[in-house]
């Protein structure tokens, strides 16, 4: 049993999962892992991105990079996104996705309107270096221990333009 002394009368119980407004957000990659595509024919790198500072500090976005996919165009899109991330954080050769963690970057976020059975959601349209600060001098949040080991190696890749959702 835990002594909480919590008063719920002053806390809104409704979780807020509305998409972030479109724009550029200072962020860091906090986690990454390889996952198998829904049809089982490939794999993608899923990255978890946390907004740093401002009104939306702590909000989380996800991006999927289809680095191992039968669709060559999907791979090329993912490779360009990964290259944007690498340039933004100043890590030009990556052996392990953890090398990209906890380094500041700017994520350009768009809002994908609601359609069919899906609510409006966020989509990351690009990455760039945090403006005005040399990459080597940037620092945001202190690194946290990773939740799971990150995948190693990057074959050919592509970014899945769907599946970027704010948490």
Q: Quick: pLDDT tens for 87-133.
A: 999 999 999 999 999 999 999 999 999 999 999 999 999 999 987 54
Tokens 């680095």 -> residue: 67
Evaluate whether residue 42 is within a structural domain. Answer: yes
Q: Is 2 within the bounds of a domain?
A: no
Answer whether residue 128 is part of any domain.
yes
On whether the CB atoms of residues 56 and 20 are closer than 8 A, the answer is yes
* CA–CA distance, 161 with 64 (Å, rounded to integer): 8
Question: How is residue 72 written in tokens?
Answer: 């060559």
| Band of pLDDT at residue 2, cut at 50, 70 and 90 | confident
What does the pLDDT read at residue 132?
Answer: 55
Q: How many CB atoms lie within 10 A of CB 9?
A: 5
Q: Is pLDDT of 167 > 90?
A: no
Confirm whether 94 is domain-assigned: yes
Residue with tokens 């200072």: 26
Q: Are 97 and 89 in contact (CB under 8 A)?
A: no
Distance CA 153, CA 115 (A): 36
Structure token pair of residue 121: 């959601």
pLDDT for residue 40: 93
- Residue 121, in any domain of the structure: yes
pLDDT in tens, 32-79: 999 999 999 999 999 999 999 899 999 999 999 999 999 999 999 999
Q: Which range has the top average pLDDT, 14-18, 79-83, 146-150?
A: 79-83
CA-based nearest residue to 136, from 89, 97, 98: 89
- Compute CA distances 165 → 2, 12, 42, 162, whole Å: 34, 22, 21, 9
- Domain of 99 in residue numbering reads as 18-160
Q: What is the pLDDT of residue 52?
A: 95
Residue 135 lies inside a defined structural domain of this protein: yes
Per DSSP, the residues of 86-123 read HHHHT--S-SBGGGGBT-EEEEEEEEEPPBTTB--EEE
pLDDT, one tens digit per residue, over 54-63 is 999 999 999 9
Which range in 28-32, 115-119, 146-150 is most confidently predicted, on average pLDDT? 28-32
For residues 61 and 81, what is the distance between their CA atoms, to the nearest angstrom?
15
How many structural domains compose the chain?
1
Query: Where is pLDDT greater, at 151 or 107?
Result: 107
């Amino acid at each position: 049993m835990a002594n909480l002394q919590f008063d719920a009368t002053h806390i809104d119980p409704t979780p807020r999962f509305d998409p972030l407004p479109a724009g550029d957000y200072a962020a860091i990659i906090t986690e990454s892992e390889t996952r198998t595509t829904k049809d089982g024919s490939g794999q993608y790198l899923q990255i978890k991105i946390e907004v740093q500072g401002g009104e939306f500090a702590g909000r989380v976005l996800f991006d999927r990079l289809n680095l191992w996919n039968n669709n060559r165009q999907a791979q090329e899109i993912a490779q360009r996104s990964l290259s944007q991330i690498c340039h933004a954080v100043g890590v030009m050769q990556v052996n392990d996705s953890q090398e990209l963690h906890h380094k500041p970057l700017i994520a350009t976020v768009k809002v994908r309107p609601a359609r069919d059975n899906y609510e409006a959601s966020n989509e990351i349209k690009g990455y760039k270096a945090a403006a005005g600060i040399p990459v080597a001098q940037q620092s945001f949040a202190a690194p946290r221990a990773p939740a799971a080991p990150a995948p190693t190696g990057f074959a050919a890749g592509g970014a899945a333009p769907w599946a970027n959702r704010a948490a």
